[in-house]
């Protein structure tokens, strides 16, 4: 209770303005992906910086390395991928919260896409390169793609 008002946990911790920023969404997604990677047995490291195309570096049990660019959206609209470049052992992980970012009882949808395959699933809107969820079915929860590392 706050000032005699009964409030949910999310209402109590919501940022000023009432909703998480795009920055918060991105950070939440990066740590969600990091958690999944540790659960899979990878050694994983978040990279720091505001303007970057590599968010996480991973190392397999064999010592092989790969990089991940996490793209996140609060809703379920398209994911902007303007800075994605096809590089061997570089993956895009799209994290889509489906308007449930504040609901801690749900998990986001994840799509793991090798960057070298991004052009086959991207769409263009003017000068923008985007991923549309309807085109990503083959990559939904495809965490096993990272096992090639």
Q: What is the pLDDT of residue 117?
A: 97
- Cα separation, 52 vs 48, in Å, equals 8
Q: What is the pLDDT of residue 50?
A: 65
- What is the chain's pLDDT, residue by residue, as a tens digit (149 residues)? 455 566 555 554 455 555 568 889 999 999 999 999 999 999 999 998 766 789 999 998 889 999 999 999 999 879 999 999 999 999 999 999 999 999 999 999 999 999 999 999 999 999 999 999 999 999 999 999 998 77
Q: What is the pLDDT of residue 3?
A: 53
Give the Å distances, CA to CA, from 96 to 29, 106, 107, 108, 130. Answer: 9, 11, 9, 5, 13
Q: What is the pLDDT of residue 13?
A: 47
Q: What is the pLDDT of residue 29?
A: 97
Query: Beta-carbon neighbour count of residue 33 at 10 Å?
Result: 25
Q: Which domains are assigned to the chain?
A: 9-148 (3.40.1350.10)
Residue in the block written with tokens 């909703």:
19
Q: What is the DSSP string of 20-51?
A: --HHHHHHHHHHHHHHHHHHTT-EEEE---SS
- Cα separation, 17 vs 72, in Å, equals 20
Q: Between β-strands 90-96 and 65-73, what pairing exists: parallel, antiparallel or unpaired? A: parallel
């Amino acid at each position: 209770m706050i000032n005699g008002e009964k409030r949910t946990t999310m209402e109590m911790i919501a940022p000023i303005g009432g909703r998480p920023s795009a920055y918060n969404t991105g950070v939440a997604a990066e740590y969600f992906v990091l958690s999944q990677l540790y659960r899979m047995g990878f050694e994983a490291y978040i990279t720091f910086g505001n303007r970057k195309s590599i968010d996480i570096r991973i190392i397999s049990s064999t010592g092989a390395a790969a990089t991940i660019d996490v793209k996140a959206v609060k809703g379920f609209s398209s994911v902007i991928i303007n800075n994605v470049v096809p590089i061997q052992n570089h993956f895009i992980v799209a994290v889509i919260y489906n308007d449930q970012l504040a609901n801690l009882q749900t998990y986001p949808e994840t799509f793991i896409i090798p960057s070298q395959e991004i052009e086959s699933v991207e769409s263009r809107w003017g000068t923008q390169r985007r991923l549309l969820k309807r085109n990503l079915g083959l990559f939904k929860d495809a965490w096993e793609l990272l096992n090639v590392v």
